[in-house]
Chain A
């Protein structure tokens, strides 16, 4: 296949799926009534953003950004290096997302224990 076309398809695929994930997550958060599903939706939004991060840093055919003899040799030959910053960021973001999801699920469990339902329609004792 033509490499230019191939690259285009791959990048559209990656960016498209990242944005698709964000949209799916938004749909789940905004439309679903079950608390656990809302938490899953938040988690999916996070995953979409993480994928976007990785996609931004990716260069096709680029080498790993490691300071090793082989890496230096490759860079000297003109091979591009993948940007390491988004990868470092995404690791941090994943850990944070994990923490938030854990707190969210613990709150869902507590609400369920008090309320005996996890439907968001029933949770409305606090209001403006």
Chain B
């Protein structure tokens, strides 16, 4: 079989819809099949990444034999490939974690795996596609799976969180659809490379209207303030592995689509300043909101929003170093927040409520979980030997290079807030006065494996950032070089134009 980017979409989607049939053969297949698919896709990622790195050219797949401007194409470049690889590996680890996950097993596991595979399809599809309407379709696939996973537990709060998310998400999709419609009337094409090429013909007023619609719609998925009201509820009410999935896949896809639209499609310089301002507001408000949370998962959710604000700031600075830092932070956030949600949800399940105050002294009963949580907390606030340190350092250096000293001050100040609320929890876990709650759920073996791998990655990247910086460097170059993207996707049309 020829390895191609189309497997990212075809296989998980096929698996999702075949799972009910497999369930008829053997109940265990429901759990195994998604893992096999994700393991295969991880192998595909490695092969394709190697190809991209060796040749320096993106792997471009045209679907159904229609060439780029007419048909839909998938672009596996150093940038999109990096994100797709990250998502696939995170999905595989989350699958290992959720294998035999107690709370999911009490509900029909089949439902969980179908929705999970659809979520993986949607978010990798958003990253890989080169067609703006196709991106909308994948966004909706992701969104519908995410609504259902949010409301996975049949309790009241789950339904409320799911409905809230759905309400905001429907607005997002309406805005994006309107933006795509207006864009189509202006440029007469849906291929992103061709849109980028023809963008200069669009009048400025129209450009800004379309951009505002896009930023509103996609900002909802990317957790940009004030459009992130869904996030804390969705993170806190969904099952544990789903929180990790949101942080590692859904939000990454949202940020990607926002960045793709602003960087490649539009080239309005004011948009970058806008990103910085929105990023600062998002960062400051969510970190302060995180500080006053009593519920552990809500605290993690606000911290997640804050990190996305940080990513937006870095993308908004717009220089090579800043984009490098932003991509590094996206990688770190996926890995570290994954670990935090994975260990945090076991801490939550072993306390009568989800409140931090009930978790006092749990570190003595749960040395491993608490250790992983503490490691994640240290990494995400950016302590030196861990992965989070490097991304924060690069972004601060990039901001300092651009003489944005106020920005540096704000980031450092917010970091203190971050340190306070994370360390408060860690201190409570270790030195709090233990309450006499019992151990309800012991972590599964798979849970230990995936958390150990993530902790290993955090330490490895912390000590040897070189293992990952090469890929991120190429990814940043690819994102910033718009002309190369256009000429790679549309070689034939380019030749016709030049004739």
Binary contact readout B211-238 vs A (1 if CB under 8 angstroms, 0 otherwise): 0000000000000000001001100110
Chain A residues with CB under 8 A of B164: 126
Contacting pair A123 B166 (CB below 8 A)? no
- Name, among A92, A93, A107, the residue most crowded by chain B CB atoms within 10 Å (CB to CB): A107
Q: Which of B181, B190, B232 contacts A128 (CB 8 A)?
A: B232
Contacting pair A103 B148 (CB below 8 A)? yes
> CB of B154 within 8 A of chain A?
yes
CB-CB under 8 A for A114 and B159, given A49-B174, A89-B133, A100-B170: yes
Contacting pair A100 B144 (CB below 8 A)? yes
Chain A residues with CB under 8 A of B169: 100
CB distance from A42 to the nearest CB of B (A): 5
Binary contact readout A81-124 vs B (1 if CB under 8 angstroms, 0 otherwise): 00001100100110010011001100110110011000000010
CB distance from A33 to the nearest CB of B (A): 13
CB-CB under 8 A for A93 and B170, given A111-B156, A111-B159, A128-B232: no
Contacting pair A49 B181 (CB below 8 A)? yes
Contacting pair B156 A114 (CB below 8 A)? yes
- Name, among A89, A92, A123, A125, the residue most crowded by chain B CB atoms within 10 Å (CB to CB): A89
Chain A residues with CB under 8 A of B137: 92, 96
- The residue of chain A having its C-beta at the shortest distance from the C-beta of B155 within the complex is A114
- Number of chain B residues close to chain A: CB under 8 A: 38
CB distance from A106 to the nearest CB of B (A): 8
Chain A residues with CB under 8 A of B163: 35, 104, 107-108, 111, 123
Chain A residues with CB under 8 A of B184: 56, 85-86, 89
Bound CA–CA A111/B133 (angstroms): 33
> CB of B113 within 8 A of chain A?
no
> CB of B287 within 8 A of chain A?
no
CB distance from A108 to the nearest CB of B (A): 7
Bound CA–CA A49/B148 (angstroms): 25
> CB of B123 within 8 A of chain A?
no
Contacting pair A128 B289 (CB below 8 A)? yes
Bound CA–CA A38/B163 (angstroms): 11
Bound CA–CA A44/B173 (angstroms): 14
Chain A residues with CB under 8 A of B181: 49, 52-53, 56, 86
Q: Which of A38, A103, A126 contacts B161 (CB 8 A)?
A: A126
Contacting pair A126 B157 (CB below 8 A)? yes
> CB of B185 within 8 A of chain A?
yes
Bound CA–CA A113/B465 (angstroms): 52
Chain A residues with CB under 8 A of B140: 96, 99-100
Bound CA–CA A42/B166 (angstroms): 10
Q: Which of B159, B177, B236 contacts A49 (CB 8 A)?
A: B177
Contacting pair A96 B237 (CB below 8 A)? no
- The residue of chain A having its C-beta at the shortest distance from the C-beta of B134 within the complex is A92
Bound CA–CA A128/B177 (angstroms): 29
Bound CA–CA A108/B450 (angstroms): 36
- The residue of chain B having its C-beta at the shortest distance from the C-beta of A101 within the complex is B170
CB distance from B291 to the nearest CB of A (A): 12
Contacting pair A126 B237 (CB below 8 A)? yes
- Name, among B147, B162, B177, the residue most crowded by chain A CB atoms within 10 Å (CB to CB): B177
Bound CA–CA A89/B72 (angstroms): 13
Bound CA–CA A38/B232 (angstroms): 22
Bound CA–CA A92/B177 (angstroms): 11
**Residues of chain A in range 12-54 having any CB-CB distance to chain B below 8 Å:** 29, 35, 38, 42, 45-46, 49, 52-53
Q: What 14 additional pairs, Cβ within 8 angstroms, besides A42-B167, A99-B140, A128-B229?
A: A46-B170, A49-B177, A86-B181, A89-B184, A100-B140, A100-B173, A103-B148, A103-B166, A104-B166, A104-B167, A111-B156, A114-B159, A115-B156, A123-B160
Offer 9 A-B interface pairs, CB within 8 angstroms, sorted by A: A49-B174, A89-B180, A99-B144, A104-B166, A108-B163, A110-B151, A110-B154, A115-B156, A125-B160
Which 3 A-B residue pairs are closest in the complex by CB-CB distance? A114-B156, A110-B159, A107-B163
